[in-house]
Structure formats: structure tokens, C-alpha cells
Amino acid sequence: MSRLLRTALVQQKGFGDYKTVTAATCEKIRQAVQKGAKLVVLQELHTGPYFCQTEATDQFDRAEAIPGGASCQLFGDLAKELGVVLVTSLFERRAPGLYHNTAVVFEADGSIAGIYRKMHIPDDPGFYEKFYFTPGDLGFKPIETSVGKLGILICWDQWYPEAARLMALAGAEILIYPTAIGWDPADNDDEKQRQRDSWILAQRAHGISNGLPVVAVNRVGYEPSPDKHATGIDFWGSSFVSGPQGELLAEAAIDTEELLIVDIDLTRSEDVRRIWPFLRDRRIDAYQDILRRYID
Amino acid sequence: MSRLLRTALVQQKGFGDYKTVTAATCEKIRQAVQKGAKLVVLQELHTGPYFCQTEATDQFDRAEAIPGGASCQLFGDLAKELGVVLVTSLFERRAPGLYHNTAVVFEADGSIAGIYRKMHIPDDPGFYEKFYFTPGDLGFKPIETSVGKLGILICWDQWYPEAARLMALAGAEILIYPTAIGWDPADNDDEKQRQRDSWILAQRAHGISNGLPVVAVNRVGYEPSPDKHATGIDFWGSSFVSGPQGELLAEAAIDTEELLIVDIDLTRSEDVRRIWPFLRDRRIDAYQDILRRYID
């Protein structure tokens, strides 16, 4: 018997003030629940613009306490009202001068089921995340909810097979990636296509290696940089869901907002792992050097 | 300045006696070198049929000493004659009752540059490899050759991100997968497509995670099983080369023999790693549990 989990991915334009953006998000969550979603996943740092395009200390004002901050209150209340499990992505103020990029998962009763602090932090021109986010210190632990064990990872984590593997080994039933990735408008079309293809492919492959479905939710639309000399970021949307053989189950548009609703069959993972028993044959006796920076 | 390595992939039907099959292989290698190839990669266990479809002790007669066996002599001599680096995949008889699935890399002077013993050994209906092959004990070490450091892995290894990562950390410049993978003819078309797509995607993703080109060489064509009740294997070919962003550079047919020749730009890896510096941000402080079978 299959165990279907109706899952909603909210792909949004994030450029706007907190009130406007979160109101739009809440409206999408309501629509998703009306359509039967039991799990709703939001994009990375969904309460406003992607503020890491420059390094500016006043951006830390956006951060909030977890629990206790305004967004925790807002989304916790909504999860409770609608009876839905909600994966949010917030800017956490843990202490003065200590901030994290944190996913907060709300149970359907409004309580916090668990949090995940982004472990791998990027730093590229236009993505100055090392300035803002202290690397996570909670490790790779799935969050137990009423709809299943959720392996939440965030954006840059999606390039690391180690992260997906650790979530799978710890019993995750789905890998979930709130994301903010986009193009430098100055890049040419070939480079843009390679980047987007890679992003989709790398995550589908995590599903394959671990026999798990993958949910990736990305921002969409252009966001200018506060730096007038910078080109801004054109977030490429393309939120998607893939199955435990990496098969694409649904994919959102590249350039428009979308509410993607997908029934994920959580029983298929064990079927696939029986024909492809990768976990059986891992050479854990020979992986020690994975813990090294480089083997030189 | 780019550093181009002209690489040949020999995708063959392997069903036939040793003499016929190896003669055909040698002819393909000659053709490849005539076309300028400096590196030639052969498919898994290319000297005859895929003999693991049943468990039969007399199949061990196919195994040979490395060095010293007939194939080592044959391919070593050919590598020397043609001045080409050759990646072969042989059935190694290490001691009576101790056998490995071993890639032997010949330097352009005919010497053995190094060997890799398949680390992950599958066992599925029709692929009874655990009966034949002792898991490798040489670890994941690239083989240094005159054309670069080759990260040789074999077939089932291709499903393990750990294997690719360890090769990359040890300095591999290309990931190379001799392979024997095919369909159960009894499976339906959807399942067949999912399996083939997964196979391509998982390997391209290893290239992405590690910023490396990938060369995968697979058998092609139907091979019946010695077991009259079994359906045999329809090897799906589809040998391919991808670049360090996972971009597909060339792909062979699903159902026919093919000699695929591709210029691989070995300088592109560093360019890609500069924009996607995944190795910089690995959380080696948090990967310890990768060494566990399961986290329970």
C-alpha cells in the first residue's frame, strides 16, 4: 500500500518588505492546504529579499530569535490554524553577533518540531553568506514530524553528497532543500544552462544515492543589488520534486511564481532500495579519508 | 591555455570467446590511436561475456595473474606499440580461491602504471558478483600516468559518492568508470528509462560535486544467461563523457557498438572549482558518521 504525502512547494519572488512578502507567503500556504497539502515547503530566507548581495551590518536587524521571533509566531500560528507541517527558512539571531541561516519546521499543532542550521556556507561575489551566517553546529539530523522524518538541508548544502548521505543514514524519508540560487545576468546562456542543469542534477543524484525523494524550493525573479556596480541576481526558480530513482515528478517554471503540489509516495523508497541496495555495500572500512580536507 | 586530452571510449558487444572479443577490442584501440587518442578506456570485463549471470566455479578459469596473465601481456604490448595509455578491466586471480575485479592501467611504454580493485561489489539476480569478486583492498587511489592522474572506479562504485570524493581528494583529474550495466528484458519501458537516466545522472553528479570530468564506458547488446530460466541482460551502452559542471560532452548509442572520441579539457576543472569552490567549504568536522553503517 502506498503512503502518499501531498507536498506543496511555494516558489516566490522575495523582493519586497517583510509584511508584503510574508502576507503573500501565508496566502500561498492557505491555497496549498485548500488543495490538500499536508507538508508545505518555503524557499530560503523567504521573508524578504536575498540580503546577502552585499555585506552591510544593518542587515543583521532582519534576524530574529528562534523561538520567539515574529516569524516563528506568525508561521507557528498559521501551521496550527491550518493543521499543516511547515518548513520555513529564517535568519536566526542566536546571540548578539552570532547569526545562523536556519530552517524551522513547525508541526501541525503549531509547535516547533525541530530546527536545522545551514552547515555549508558559501561565499561568492553577490552571495556573501560567510559574512552573515555562522556555520551550523547541529549536524545533519532529520526532523521528526507527523508526516515523516524530514532531512532538511539548505541551498549550498545541496552540492555536498556527504550532507545528503548523513541525513539518509540518520533515517530521513525525504531530502528537502530551501534554496536561493540564481544567475549572474552577465553570464552567457550556455553558462546559465550548465549552472541550472547542474543544480537540478546534483540534487536528483542525492535522491538516487540514498533512495529518497527530493524536494527543492528555489526563489524566482530578479533582485537588484544594493551595490550599484553589481548586476544583481536572476533567481531561476525551477523548484522540483524527484523520486528515489532520481526521476523528475514535477518541476516549476524558471521565471514565474508557482505553487507546485505533488503527491510523494513514501513507500517507494524501500521498493527502490531493495533493487538498488546501495546502503548494503558501503565500504565504511575504507572511507576514513573523507574526514580529511585533502589527501596530500 | 587549455590542456586537451583526446580520449577514446570503446563500447562493445562482449559476447563471444576470448580470442574473438579481444581481437575486436585491439582493432578498436588501433582505430582510436589513428584518430589521435592518447587515452583509451575499455568497458568492464571486456575480454568476454559478462560471466556473473550465474554462479559457476568453472568461470574462475577466466581469471588471470596480474601481472603475468595473457591479457596483461596482450594489452601491455599494444599500449607500448601504439604509445597510448590504456585502461583495461580484467578478472584477477590473486591466489587460488581469491579473485578480484581489477582495472589495470598501462602506461604508453607498456608498463603497468597501476591497478584498482573494485571496492563496491554488487549482488543482484543476474549480477552475482559477490560470488566471484573479493572486495578491493587497495582503497581509492588515483593512478598516475603520462596523461594525468586517473581516478579509476568500476561499475557498482558509480553509485557511491564517497568513492568519487575520495578519488578527487587524492588528486584525480578524471573519474573513469568501466561498466557492465543493463536491463532485465522483463522490465517495462518506464522502469528501463528510469534506470538508465539514473545511471547517467548519478555519474554526472560525481563530476559536479568534485569539479571533474567523467568518462563512463558501458557494454552494449544482449547477453543470454547460462540459466535457461533467466531472461539475460540487455546492456544499454550509452557510454558518455561529461565535464566538471556535469555537462554532457558526448554520448554513445544505446544499442550499437561505438568508438567515442572526445577531447577533454583538463584545465576546465580548476576554472569551475574557482566559481564553485565546494572543496573549500566541506564540513570535515561534522562528517564522522559517514563511517557508520547506519545511525541508529
Cα–Cα distance between A289 and A209 in angstroms, integer?
19
Q: Are B118 and B145 in contact (CB under 8 A)?
A: no
Taking CA–CA distances from B247, the nearest residue in chain A reads: A194
Residue B194 has a pLDDT of 97
A284 lies within 8 A of chain B by CB: yes
Residue B26 has a pLDDT of 98
Q: pLDDT grade, residue B18 (50/70/90)?
A: very high
The three cell numbers locating residue A14: 522575495
The three cell numbers locating residue A270: 524501500
| pLDDT at residue B39 is higher than 90 | yes
| pLDDT at residue A2 is higher than 90 | no
Residue B172 has a pLDDT of 98
Tell me what percent of the residues of chain A surpass a pLDDT of 70. 100
| pLDDT at residue B88 is higher than 80 | yes
- The alpha-carbon gap from B228 to the nearest alpha carbon of chain A, in Å, equals 22
Contact A198 B209 (CB under 8 A): no
Q: Are B170 and A295 in contact (CB under 8 A)?
A: yes
Residue A206 has a pLDDT of 98
Of the residues B196, B198, B276, the best mutation for testing chain A's interface (the one with the most A CB atoms within 10 Å of its CB) is B198
Residue B15 has a pLDDT of 84
B186 lies within 8 A of chain A by CB: no
Q: pLDDT tens for residues B248-284? A: 999 999 999 999 999 999 999 999 999 999 999 999 9
| pLDDT at residue A272 is higher than 90 | yes
Q: Which of residues 223-262 of B touch A (CB under 8 A)?
A: 245-247
| pLDDT at residue B241 is higher than 90 | yes
User: Which residues in chain B have Cβ-Cβ distances shorter than 8 Å to A282?
Assistant: 120, 160, 162, 293
Contact A288 B292 (CB under 8 A): no
Catalytically annotated residues of A: 44, 118, 155
Residue A250 has a pLDDT of 98
Measured CA distances, B258 to A103, A106, B40, B173, B296 (Å): 49, 54, 13, 25, 47
A138 lies within 8 A of chain B by CB: no
Contact A202 B294 (CB under 8 A): no
Please give the average per-residue pLDDT across A41-52, as a whole number.
Answer: 98
Query: Given 3.40.250.10, 3.30.465.10, 3.40.91.50, 3.60.110.10, which CATH number is that of B4-277?
Result: 3.60.110.10
| pLDDT at residue B1 is higher than 80 | no
What integer best gives the mean pLDDT of chain A? 97
Catalytically annotated residues of B: 44, 118, 155
Q: pLDDT tens for residues A162-218? A: 999 999 999 999 999 999 999 999 999 999 999 999 999 999 999 999 999 999 999
Q: Which of B171, B245, B291 sits opposite A194 (nearest CB)?
A: B245
Phi and psi torsions of B219, nearest 5°: -65, 165
Does ipTM exceed 0.85? yes
| pLDDT at residue A107 is higher than 90 | yes
Please give the average per-residue pLDDT across A35-53, as a whole number.
Answer: 98
Q: Angle between the A18-34 and A70-82 helix axes, to the nearest 10 degrees?
A: 20
Residue A110 has a pLDDT of 98
- Residue B185's contacts (CB-CB under 8 Å, 6 or more residues apart) are B222, B231, B232, B234
Spell out the domain ranges in chain A.
4-277
The DSSP secondary-structure symbol of B127 reads B
Q: pLDDT tens for residues A212-229? A: 999 999 999 999 999 999
Q: pLDDT grade, residue A15 (50/70/90)?
A: confident
Taking CA–CA distances from A281, the nearest residue in chain B reads: B120
